[in-house]
Amino acid sequence: MTDSQDSRSQLAERRGLDPEVYQPAEDSGLLAEAAVDSLSEPEVVLEVGTGSGWVAEQVATETSARVIGSDLNPHACRQARNRGVEAVRADLLAPFAADAFDAVLFNPPYLPTDPDNEWDDWMEHALSGGEDGRRLIVPFLKDVGRVLAPGGEVYLLVSSLTGYDIVVELAEDAGFSVDEVVQESYPFEVLSILRLQPV
C-alpha cells in the first residue's frame, strides 16, 4: 500500500468509516454532478463500483430513478446498503440482464500500478487500474452495451493518468459515440466525464 493509500485508510478510520471501502472524493462528486445534470428521466440506473454508495445515493435523491449499486467488495456493498442503496455484489456487469438499465455510471479504479504490486486489500482494488490504468475500463466497455436499454447511455469517469485519447478510441471501437460532459483539472491529473451512447 502506498503512503497516500495508507493515509486515506487512517483518515477513514478516524471518521468512523470502513477503511476497506472507497469514500467520496473529487471524482465521486464530478460523476454524481454530471449524472444528475445530464440524465433525462431515467427509470433504472446502475452504478458499477459503487464503493460507499455515495454517488448512487445522490442520483437516487436528485432524480426519480431506481438506482442500483454494484461492487465486488462485500464491505462496499454493506456500506452502500447502509445508505439505503440497493447493492449487489458483482464483478463489473456479469450478473445483469440484457437491456436492463437506462444509464450506467462507472468511476473505475484508474491509478496506474506497478505490475509487481501485490493486490492484498480491498482499497488497492478500489484504486489500482493495473499497469496502464485501464484494467477494468477495457472489459467494462466490451460488455456495457449489452445491459443498456434502447436509448440508454453510459457515464464514464476518465483520468488523464489512464490515457484520455486511448479510452475515447476504445469506447468508439466498442460502438459508442463519445461526448465529454464535464472536465476538471487537479494538481496531478485532469478528470473528465464521458457520455457514451450506442451508435
Pairing of strands 189-198, 101-106: unpaired
Give, in order, the Cα–Cα distances in Å from 2 to each of 11, 118, 121, 127: 14, 11, 12, 11
Give, in order, the Cα–Cα distances in Å from 171 to each of 9, 28, 130, 143, 153: 33, 21, 18, 11, 12
Q: pLDDT of 7-60, one tens digit each? A: 444 444 444 456 789 889 999 999 999 999 999 888 999 999 999 999 999 999
What is the average pLDDT across 62-69? 96
pLDDT at 124 over 80: no
pTM above 0.85, yes or no: yes
Give me the CATH code for the 3-198 domain, please: 3.40.50.150
Q: pLDDT of 53-64, one tens digit each? A: 999 999 999 999
What is the average pLDDT across 68-93? 95
Cell of 43: 427509470
What CA–CA distance (Å, rounded) separates 161 from 158? 8
What's the pLDDT score for residue 94?
94
- pLDDT averaged over every residue in the chain: 89
Domain boundaries, the chain: 3-198
What CA–CA distance (Å, rounded) separates 54 from 68? 12
Phi-psi map region of 178: left, alpha, beta (phi>0 left; psi -120 to 50 alpha): beta
